[in-house]
Amino acid sequence: MYKKRRESITDKIKKNSLVVVFSGKAPRNSEDNFYKFNSNRNFFYLTGINRENFIYLYNNSEKEEETLFIEKPNEKMEKWVGRFLKEEKAKEISKIDNIKFNEEFTKYLITLFKDYDIENIYLDFKNWEIDEPLTQSQKLSKVLKEKYPYIKIKNINKYIENLRLIKDKKEIELTQRAIDITKEAIENMMIKSKTGMFEYQIEANYNYILDNYGVTTSFDTIAASGENAVILHYINNDSKTEDDDLILCDLGVKYKEYNSDITRTFPVNGKFTDRQKEVYSVVLEANKKVIEEAKPGKTLLELNELAKDILFEGCKKLGLIKEKDELSKYYYHSVSHFLGLDVHDVGGKKIKLKKGMMITVEPGLYIEEEGIGIRIEDDILITEKDSINLSKDILKEIDEIENLMKK
């Protein structure tokens, strides 16, 4: 699988070129403490390896050759940080036969420049902010521009991201497994919720199931009660719940690097009030209709416009607004994003949906003056003509939620 992915990329590379992709390194938190490592998603996608300080190199100057640079095993360090990934295991996972140690990388690169007529080097560039620290690709680029100005530096990022947009059978299976675990954890959370619990206690009942499966959350869990639910990325989870509070839980599971992203909103006491039902029904209608329209050829922008139309009509009936331009007071995010190795995966809002793409559908309404925040989010797979709701088995109907919580 990983070999085929690399071939799909390297087939597009100009002759007399190198491709270099770094796995990355966890930044320091404080003193001798580092943040948890998470491999560069593109490196993992091409190799299947989630390890620090690994480097993938492809050379097509005379004959095609792939090299994987790994960390040199260190028995002393293994006593502190755990087992190193050995050569044979790295070969088995990545299907790359030529294995070297990362301390050899710079010398090996210089040798390639001497022995071959290298014209281009493709690096993985992507920046969210201009003042972010330099990545390993950017640092290498800076050196190459100074030392080897005749070599053209190109960006491999779009080639990989375009491939990542379409999920294969294995990726869909892993995502479905993440969703199935999420379902069980959400139901455990709902059943055990009671008025007077703290949000972190509700979250703990979700985490209990994840811990049993040996998986982690795909992002910081949002367990927002009452007026906290109008804050989109509320993660404090430290408020005490009151009777008649709704709990908005935006959460997910990371399973073998693939992510679910689900939101459910439910009453902490197990019973929706009449007003909560009215608002919830509007959001649920938007959720269902947008899923129905999530088809090949549509864009996320178009889906968001549909969501806004439905939510606007609903807000008028709820007595909240009269004009559509007032909707942003109660709905202030987009209805979809792509899903995969990243929770907010590669792909833009203007890309036309195609078979194999995975997206979320997550309309919401946030009425601060009433202390009501409701979002309903599902994970959707685009098929040849329509779409499949991968999270369809996670309860979201009002009567289903209330009946479950009676337990």
Catalytic annotation, pick one of 187, 250, 302, 379: 250
Is 164 part of the annotated catalytic residue set? no
* Residues 198-224 as b or e (16 or more Cβ within 10 Å = b): ebebbbbbbbebbeeeebebbbebbbb
Catalytic annotation, pick one of 164, 255, 375, 378: 375
CB 119, CB 144: distance < 8 Å: no
Catalytic annotation, pick one of 233, 242, 305, 326: 233
Rounded Cα distance between 268 and 280, Å, is 15
Query: Between the CA atoms of 214, 38, 375 and 394, what dihedral angle is there, to the nearest 10 degrees?
Result: -30
Is 362 part of the annotated catalytic residue set? yes
CA 165 from centroid of its chain's CA atoms: 12
Query: Between the CA atoms of 26, 132, 347 and 283, what dihedral angle is there, to the nearest 10 degrees?
Result: 90
Is 245 part of the annotated catalytic residue set? no
Q: Which of 1, 101, 127, 118 is nearest to 58 (CA)?
A: 118
Q: Which of 398, 373, 331 is nearest to 225 (CA)?
A: 373
Is 375 part of the annotated catalytic residue set? yes
Strand duo 222-225 + 17-22: pairing: unpaired
* Burial class of residue 3 in the structure, from the number of CB atoms within 10 Å of its CB (0-12 exposed, 13-18 middle, 19+ buried): middle
CB 178, CB 143: distance < 8 Å: no
Is 28 part of the annotated catalytic residue set? no
Place of tokens 């007595």: 319
CA 376 from centroid of its chain's CA atoms: 18
Q: Which two tokens stand for residue 64?
A: 């095609």
Catalytic annotation, pick one of 344, 368, 369, 400: 344
Rounded Cα distance between 47 and 5, Å, is 9
Is 366 part of the annotated catalytic residue set? yes
E strand or H helix that includes residue 285: helix 274-293
Is 333 part of the annotated catalytic residue set? yes
Is 250 part of the annotated catalytic residue set? yes
DSSP bridge partners of 338? 359
Catalytic annotation, pick one of 66, 199, 362, 379: 362
Catalytic annotation, pick one of 171, 180, 245, 261: 261
Is 377 part of the annotated catalytic residue set? yes
Residue 51's identity, in one-letter code, is R
Is 184 part of the annotated catalytic residue set? no
Is 255 part of the annotated catalytic residue set? no
Catalytic annotation, pick one of 337, 342, 378, 379: 337
Catalytic annotation, pick one of 331, 366, 378, 379: 366
Task: Give catalytic residues, as residue numbers.
Answer: 32, 233, 250, 261, 333, 337, 344, 362, 366, 375, 377
